[in-house]
A and B are shown apart, each in its own frame.
Chain A
Amino acid sequence: MRRSVLLRDCAWALLLMAPAVLFGLWIFWPLIGVAHQGELPSYLFNLRQEKRRSEYAGIKIINLDQAYALFNQGQALFVDVRKPYQYEEEHIPGAVSLPLDDWKKNKNTPLPYIPKDRLIVTYCIREACYAHLEMAKILQAQGFTQVMAYLGGFREWEKAGYPKQAGLSLQMAGKK
């Protein structure tokens, strides 16, 4: 009895799955085709690239080499938009923590004591992330004139073996 009930439940579960499988395959067949050709990562990258071009057109994007050169020159202020605990674990030395989520909650003035013409580089965890672009847009709207977004994010920086440090979160947002 127990076994037959279990078997019947499993059979019904498969039957309930059938419309999900058929509908999913029908809707996402082109995506499966892309994945079959082994081009899914580049396809997704291009989609994000398009989104960046359309939604963040005014933001200057820099790559790893450019970010490292700016870091070495020591003139740019790196702004870490990840969560505070991620910043505390490790971050680019000298970077300040300005989590996008916190800013969205509090809407404080970002970087209140920093001159508006200071060179600022925002970064996130990885390339498939929009928080650094969003923050760059916010900073531009606040009047900062030299804002850039480092696309690869902290994961790429870490992989390249560039300097990093751990430490407490230095929140850089003042009251409105």
Chain B
Amino acid sequence: MAIAGSGLGLLFLYAGGKKYLHPFEFAQFVLDYELFPQIWVGFGVAILPLVEFISGSLLVLGYILGGLDRLATKRGWASRAYLVDGLKRRSCLLLILGQSIMFTSVLIVTLLRGLKIDCGCGLFFQREVGLVPIMEDALLVLLAAGLYWWEFPIGKKETLPPS
């Protein structure tokens, strides 16, 4: 689970960083969808890459610290679970889940409208909107939802920060 979660986090970290470094290309991709008013595109270009980057990087950091914490507990050292909790892995997963649902919905709507455009979702190469990118994004939705469910503390005792 930690590997899957870290992979998901790295994916969002990379995607967010790439969009942040190339904002004008990203803006053109969003405009090509012809789905949102320009002002929304402006706000999306300003905010979305950083939300992706922050949620991805904090998720990765959360899993790294989670691993270190388990190691510390095994060795009988004091637990730093409150620090891991402070990074709010579940909240990062919620953010990633929300973004993945949004991306998938936009792709489905665009496919139904029959627009032949680059999806802007290819991390390493460009692709057109189609079934494959939709399936990939749907997989991300399932992964984020599954990880959130796994992390959810029902039936488990939550570690609380020391008072």
Contact A28 B23 (CB under 8 A): yes
Contact B27 A44 (CB under 8 A): yes
Contact A31 B154 (CB under 8 A): no
- Most chain A CB neighbours (cut-off 10 Å) among B48, B50, B88: B50
Task: Identify the stretch in A33-41, A71-79, A114-122, A161-169 within 8 Å (CB) of chain B at 4 or more residues.
Answer: A33-41
On chain A, the residues within 8 Å of B53 by CB distance are: 20
Asked if B66 lies at the interface with its beta carbon under 8 angstroms from chain A, I say no
Asked if B28 lies at the interface with its beta carbon under 8 angstroms from chain A, I say yes
Asked if B49 lies at the interface with its beta carbon under 8 angstroms from chain A, I say yes
Alpha-carbon separation in the docked complex, A19 to B98 (Å):
18
Q: Of all chain B residues, which has the CB nearest A158?
A: B116
On chain B, the residues within 8 Å of A21 by CB distance are: 47, 50-51
Asked if A2 meets B42 with Cβ closer than 8 Å, knowing A12-B88, A16-B54, A20-B47, the reply is no
- Number of A interface residues in the complex (CB < 8 A): 35
Contact A16 B92 (CB under 8 A): yes
The 6 closest A-B pairs by CB, nearest first: A35-B42, A28-B46, A20-B50, A12-B91, A32-B42, A24-B46
In the complex, which of the residues B32, B42, B48, B90 contacts A34, with contact meaning CB atoms closer than 8 Å?
B42
- Number of B interface residues in the complex (CB < 8 A): 37
Q: Chain B: residues with CB nearer than 8 A to chain A?
A: 23-25, 27-28, 31-32, 38-39, 41-43, 45-51, 53-55, 58, 88, 90-92, 94-95, 98, 116, 118, 125, 128, 152-154
Contact B46 A25 (CB under 8 A): yes
Asked if A31 meets B88 with Cβ closer than 8 Å, knowing A5-B152, A36-B39, A40-B41, the reply is no
Alpha-carbon separation in the docked complex, A34 to B46 (Å):
12
Give the interface SS of chain A, mostly helix, strand, loop or mixed.
helix
Asked if A17 lies at the interface with its beta carbon under 8 angstroms from chain B, I say yes
- Most chain A CB neighbours (cut-off 10 Å) among B42, B94, B153: B42
Alpha-carbon separation in the docked complex, A143 to B98 (Å):
52
Asked if A55 lies at the interface with its beta carbon under 8 angstroms from chain B, I say no
The number of inter-chain residue pairs (CB within 8 angstroms) is: 97
In the complex, which of the residues A13, A36, A125, A155 contacts B94, with contact meaning CB atoms closer than 8 Å?
A13
Q: Chain A: residues with CB nearer than 8 A to chain B?
A: 1-2, 5, 9-10, 12-13, 15-17, 19-21, 23-25, 27-29, 31-36, 38, 40-41, 44, 47, 86, 101, 125, 128, 155
Alpha-carbon separation in the docked complex, A170 to B125 (Å):
22
In the complex, which of the residues B27, B42, B51, B128 contacts A36, with contact meaning CB atoms closer than 8 Å?
B42
Closest CB in chain A relative to B141 CB, distance in Å: 16
Alpha-carbon separation in the docked complex, A13 to B94 (Å):
7
Asked if A35 meets B50 with Cβ closer than 8 Å, knowing A9-B94, A44-B31, the reply is no
Alpha-carbon separation in the docked complex, A155 to B116 (Å):
9
Q: Of all chain B residues, which has the CB nearest A51?
A: B24
Known: A33-B42, A35-B42, A44-B24. 16 other contacts (CB 8 A): A2-B152, A2-B154, A5-B152, A10-B94, A12-B91, A16-B54, A20-B50, A21-B47, A21-B51, A24-B49, A28-B42, A28-B45, A32-B43, A32-B46, A40-B27, A125-B118
